[in-house]
Amino acid sequence: MAERARASTTYKSSARTARILALVPKSGAGSDIENSDSSEDEVYYARKIVENKIVEGSDLSSEPPSLGSSFENLHLLSDSGEDTVFITTVSSSVIDSNINSCHQVSTPSYLGPDSPSILASVSVPTASDSQNQQIKHQSPLATNISSIPAFNVSQISPLAGRNDFNIASPSGGTRSKKKTTVVVKKALVRVKRIDTKWTCTKSFKGKADIEVRMFPPSLQSRSPLEYFRMFFDDDLIELIVQQTNLYHMQTKSTPLNVTTDEIRDFIAIHLLMGVVNMPAYTDYWCKTLRYNKIANIMPLKRFQQIRRYLHFANNLQDDGDRYFKVRNLLESIRRNCLKIEEENRFSIDEMMVPYKGTRAGSRKQYIKNKPRKWGFKVFVRAGVSGIIYDFLAYGGEDTFRYHDFTEDENGMGLGAKVVLALSKTIKQQACSVLYFDNFFTSLELLKHLRNEYGIFALGTIRQNRLRGAAAKLPTDKNLKKRGRGSFAQVISNECKIAVIKWFDTKCVTAASTYTHSQPVQQVWRYCKKTKSRNPVTCPNIIKEYNNNMGGVDLADMLVALYRTEMRAHRWYIPLCSQLLDICVNNAWLIYRRENKGKKHMKLKVFRCAISNDLNTFQRTKEIANTSRGAHFVTPQISDYGRLDQIGHMPSFASKGRCKKCIKSQTKFICVKCNVRLCLVEGRNCFFDYHTKSA
């Protein structure tokens, strides 16, 4: 019996030890904040800023990277009206080998006398007196480290106060005679959380009726190339010419002599490649699969030279920006997108630029719910029509390099900061509405947008961000029992926020600052039992979200229809192709908006027209290419190129019908427009065709 009791005691002790050890992270494990996909986690948990002195040649390991996560697992933060974010710094001091114990100070007042202990002393290598250097690892959220008050927390270590605990005892069998005691310095940063009363009333005082901004049809007729040049302008082409030639000189020390016409031809070729797909780009020039509309624009060797040395920035002026290679292109197109007359309803979401290479480093992201899961993540603000007005490339800590935030905005997390950065560029912020999904939504963000910028917002929201509203809402299980279409609502008239939980195929929760559940509408859903479509109750907030959230998805779909594939070893080339597609799609959507009610070109035809105009506008064509009788290589030119009065020269060809007067036969042909035109006494169709609109 005694042996059995001892075994039972040993088993309980082992189980208790296992539970304690479960709190200790594995060696090299990342913190919970780094691995979390929720932007809210960055707000309410500890942020680490480590500042230590490291000895060159020391054989000791550095501080454990998962120390912060072990702090968080102890759940020391209280659920009060304000969140406490611990910004920690670490300073190191060299401890002589005869020091055998830690210095002890009183426990910080904010932890309380009964707070559990935390291991706050970490051994790191030290620097010699002649090579004592300091390395700082600073979070972008810590703007002024010197202003943070310091205090020693060795008292709260479970090993503090023990005389037999030696930091660097010569007799302790350690590998080094000197060690460094890391003293954790903590400061409090207050992040205000919404502390309000939630009621189940149907009266919502924050309701606002927002009219959809309409655009009258344009009286001015413009060509596809003119719409395209609104976004991809001549200044950008000049920049590409300059930087491509410079990059070739830096690499080969010989001039490449790329011209603006060649860059236009290069872009025209890729626009056609997006419509006519082949397994390899060399197939357009090969004998068996030759495609003349591309192969006749530029020789293959010259195309490969431009493709190899295409560049957008001077490598010698790298300022540490993670997207420095393509920053000039990004900002130039972004500025042109911001010039467009905007709608008043926008959606914010991620857009993936496909890339599976290995040279992008941590710029390459993975999103499992996207059709193209691997690539560069770009946050986009688009209108309901699909027009992209602003975008922001995700680059980790470097994402907000060119954006400024207030102290309160800095504490809201990644998702909220993305929304704020993209919403600050809205021209008419009053009476504008933003829609976003649960990655971005928090009640603090919704309140801040309405109070500070006058922007209404609506988005789905996660359960851990409801700030007490979840207690007033039914659980998913209870809501499912009520049947499909059931919903519940809680309102805070103080903050002007309405939260609605609705059950369709599964439960979804949405929050808004301008609408609520009323008026209740109906949607049609298919029922397996009756094998028919039946009406289902739907609150107005869900209807608004579904009708206006798809702007970024529509832009993604249009890009995927005729994607420009620029495959290269350089990681930034796919970003160039994505921006080119965005310019084409934005141009087509503006063309449709200005020609509303008229018959308009399809996207494929519009894209081919841009390619044709880029290859012919303000150019001269060789007569040799047009003297082959009825089978001409050059396609017919658009009205935009027909009236530019450049390069329109007459030549002889086989006899055929005149393009202008139709009834007459002529042998004269325009070498640029590739059409037959009369050129006789008394009837100068050649002159009329190039000076008068059709």
* 663/527: higher pLDDT: 527
**Quick check: 309 pLDDT over 70?**
yes
- Residue 187 has which token pair? 């400061």
Work out the pLDDT band at 635, boundaries 50, 70, 90. low
Residue 167: the pLDDT is 34
**Which of 610, 626, 619, 661 lies closest to 642 in space, CA to CA?**
619
Work out the pLDDT band at 301, boundaries 50, 70, 90. very high
Instruction: Please give the average per-residue pLDDT across 36-50, as a whole number.
Output: 40
Residue 599: the pLDDT is 87
Residue 608: the pLDDT is 94
Instruction: Please give the average per-residue pLDDT across 273-301, as a whole number.
Output: 93
Residue 441: the pLDDT is 94
* 584/195: higher pLDDT: 584
Residue 20: the pLDDT is 64
**Quick check: 45 pLDDT over 50?**
no
- 3-state SS, 7-63, equals HHHHHHHHHHHHHHHCCCCCCCCCCHHHHCCCCCHHHHCCEECEEEECCCCCCCCCC
Distance of alpha carbon 167 from alpha carbon 373, whole angstroms: 48
Neighbours of 117 (CB within 10 A): 15
Q: Which amino acid is at 418?
A: V
Residue 55: the pLDDT is 36
**Chain centre to alpha carbon of residue 87:** 27
pLDDT digits (tens, 9 = 90+) for 161-181: 333 333 333 344 444 444 444
Looking at 45-54, 223-232, 370-379, 592-601, which range is the least confident one?
45-54
How do 665-670 and 650-657 pair as beta strands?
antiparallel
Instruction: Please give the average per-residue pLDDT across 543-561, as a whole number.
Output: 94
Distance of alpha carbon 334 from alpha carbon 331, whole angstroms: 5
pLDDT digits (tens, 9 = 90+) for 68-123: 443 344 343 334 444 444 444 443 333 343 433 333 433 333 334 343 333 333 33
Residue 17: the pLDDT is 65
251-274: buried (b, 16+ CB within 10 Å) or exposed (e) per residue? eeeeebebeebbbbbbbbbbbbbb
Distance of alpha carbon 269 from alpha carbon 263, whole angstroms: 10
* 324/65: higher pLDDT: 324
How many alpha carbons lie under 13 Å from residue 380 in its C-beta half-sphere? 28
**Quick check: 690 pLDDT over 80?**
yes
The DSSP code for 199 is: B
Neighbours of 86 (CB within 10 A): 19
* 74/305: higher pLDDT: 305
**Quick check: 66 pLDDT over 90?**
no
Work out the pLDDT band at 681, boundaries 50, 70, 90. confident
Confirm if 325 and 572 have CB atoms less than 8 A apart: yes
Residue 12: the pLDDT is 53
Q: Omega of the bond prior to 64 within 30 degrees of 0, cis?
A: no
For the chain, the straight-line distance linking the first and the last C-alpha, in angstroms and rounded, comes to: 109
650-653's contacts with Cβ under 8 Å and 24+ in sequence apart are 650/677, 650/679, 650/686, 651/623, 651/626, 651/627, 652/627, 653/626, 653/627, 653/629
How many alpha carbons lie under 13 Å from residue 391 in its C-beta half-sphere? 29
- Residue 124 has which token pair? 């790191």
